[in-house]
Amino acid sequence: MFKCSGFIAFAMLFLFGFSLQAQGFGENMGGNQVTVPIGTTIIGGKTYISMRLQPELAFGKFGVGLDVPLTFSTDGKFRKDEYQGGIGALRVIRYIRYGVKHEDPVYVRIGDITGTSLGYGLIMYNFTNAVSFDKRKIGANIDLNYDLRFGLEAVYSDFNRFAVFGMRPYVRPLKTTDMPILKTTEFGVTYITDRDKDALYNITEVGADVGVSVVETSFLKITPYMEYAAILKNDKLAQHADTSNLSYGGGKGFAMGVNFKFNFVADVFNMNVKIERRFYSDNFLPQYFDATYEIGKLNGSPKALGLVASKGVQGTYGELLANLIGKIQVIGGMSIPDKLKSTDGAIVHLGMAAPDLIPKVTISGTYDKSNLDKLGDAFKLDQRSIAHMILAYQAYQTGPFVVQAGVDYKWTFVENKNNDGFKAKRYVTPFVGMTLQLPTGSK
């Protein structure tokens, strides 16, 4: 692979920006378009010529994004790896979506479900089924609600096999009353499990939550909430604990927090702020199903084993999300126990998407890391990290046709040859990209 230190990779991401791949975050900010980047990359020590067809379209509530890879070695042989195993040729579907989650009566997203959360996020937050760039999965994230009175959130990670499945039915029993504030009260219960036959430890978690909007205006919405979660006992983990003279009987967590949603100057600037206080028992980790979950469950299950060693602690989670007139979106979040130890599992995710912040420059990227042993490792790329960055310069434009040159950097994961897990791989692809802005559709 291309040799580049983790420090340099992070420095590039820090200087050029991050972008959390939450659903809708940075998505289709450039309008309806077809992009064709062409470049070279080194995979397994071998040089390839890579071309990708990447249309991204939105029509009202409907949106679709495709990614068709056409990769050839220098001797002209077509690289089939991205089409083999798993979902095969269906991997070209990056996502198909309809509606807006928590707003429209029907929200459905099929394909890459990066950014999926259930409830207020103590159990599942920023989950992705696309930790492997080569072996993308097709999953589903659904939110069905009737008049915002009751509904169902659901997630399914992989239609090719039974893996992560979660659901959260919720209800607002006082919605039709005239009682101020109380009529916004929402109760939800969560169930999530992983039944992947190849996972070393299949974890199941349940929870309950309640939230209420104490202020709701066109300018400001304030929603305090509470959430409870319990990771159920796992016999295999209990046996592992016995061999290490430890105990494991499942763990519990509790969070209480506040969401602030600001809307400045007629949607010119939007900002969300989330502050949360967390309390854990032994054998519990917050946001267990997160952006890096799929990496560890096959690689010795370090996160599951972390449940055995984790001790009861208190901690704080904070998050900021801002959107400035579609020109720049920024997000930053971190969960840190009060006295961070190697068993507490801190979490960090940062992001920025800015297609037009600097004239003729496009910036996007990703960075997530969990199970931190110490804050000094927060930005060290390893088996607990996912990163993706694109930096491009607009070299030429005539009408709707744009030519860009740039670099595509990925810290992703590929399956081991014996199919017993994933290993980290670095892809660095210099490219020239051609984009055609389409006059139809909507942002």
Q: Please report the pLDDT score of residue 27 as a whole number.
A: 55
> How far apart, in whole angstroms, are the C-alpha atoms of residue 116 and residue 124?
7
Cα separation, 105 vs 431, whole angstroms: 41
The torsion defined by the Cα of 92, 98, 102 and 106, in degrees rounded to 10, comes to: -130
pLDDT at position 40 is 84
Provide the 3-class DSSP secondary structure of residue 400: coil
Cα dist from 235 to 238, 240, 244, 403, whole Å: 5, 9, 15, 57
Output the pLDDT for position 12.
33
How many residues are present in the chain? 443
| CA gyration radius, the chain | 22
Number of neighbours of residue 365 by Cβ within 10 angstroms:
26
Q: State how far the alpha carbon of 177 is from the alpha carbons of 172, 174, 214, 301, in Å.
A: 10, 5, 16, 48
CA distance 192 to 164: 7
Q: Which tokens in the block code for residue 29?
A: 């900010």
Domain locations along the chain? 6-437
Strand partners, 320: 273, 332
User: What is the separation, in whole angstroms, between the first and last Cα of the chain?
Assistant: 37
Where would I find the beta strands (DSSP E) of 198-280? 204-211, 215-216, 220-231, 251-264, 269-280
- Report how far residue 188's alpha carbon sits from residue 192's, in angstroms, rounded to the nearest whole number: 13
Q: Is the dihedral of CA 266, 351, 90, 127 positive or negative?
A: negative
Q: What is the pLDDT of residue 8?
A: 34
- The encoded tokens of residue 382 equal 């390893």
| Residue ranges in 365-436 assigned as alpha helix (H) | none
Nearest C-alpha neighbor of 73 from the set 38, 45, 46? 46
Question: Who's near 65: CB < 8 A, 6+ residues apart?
Answer: 27, 28, 54, 55, 56, 57, 94, 95, 111
Residue with tokens 């005239």: 178
pLDDT at 221: 93
228: which residues sit within 8 A by CB, 6+ positions away?
Answer: 122, 207, 208, 209, 252, 253, 254
Q: What is the pTM of this model?
A: 0.82
Report CA 212 to chain centroid distance, whole Å. Answer: 26
pLDDT tens for the chain, 443 residues: list them.
Answer: 333 433 333 333 333 333 333 444 445 554 688 888 888 887 767 888 888 888 988 888 999 999 888 888 888 888 887 777 666 777 788 899 999 888 899 999 999 998 899 999 999 998 988 887 777 789 999 999 998 889 999 999 998 888 999 999 999 999 989 898 999 999 999 999 999 887 888 899 999 999 999 998 888 999 999 999 999 988 888 888 887 777 788 899 999 999 999 988 766 788 899 999 999 998 998 999 988 888 877 666 777 888 888 888 888 888 888 887 767 888 888 887 877 665 456 778 777 777 767 788 888 887 888 777 677 777 788 877 888 888 888 888 888 888 989 898 888 777 666 655 677 778 888 889 888 887 765 54
Amino acid identity, position 152: L
**For residue 291, what are its two tokens?**
């952006």
* Cβ neighbours around 375 below 10 Å, total: 12
DSSP assignment of 324-377 equals ETTTEEEEEEEEEESS--TTT-EEEEEEEEEEEEETTEEEEEEEEEEEESSGGG
For 123, 257, 264, 280, 320, the CA distances from 275, given in Å and listed in that order, are 16, 5, 20, 17, 9
Q: Tokens 């210099």 correspond to what residue? A: 430
Report the pLDDT value the prediction gives residue 417, as an integer from 0 to 100. Answer: 61
**Phi-psi group of 44: left, alpha or beta (phi > 0 → left; psi -120 to 50 → alpha; rest → beta):** left
Q: Phi then psi for 90, rounded to 5 degrees?
A: -65, -10
Q: What is the DSSP letter of 419?
A: S
In 3D, which of 350, 430, 366, 426 has the Cα closest to residue 392? 430
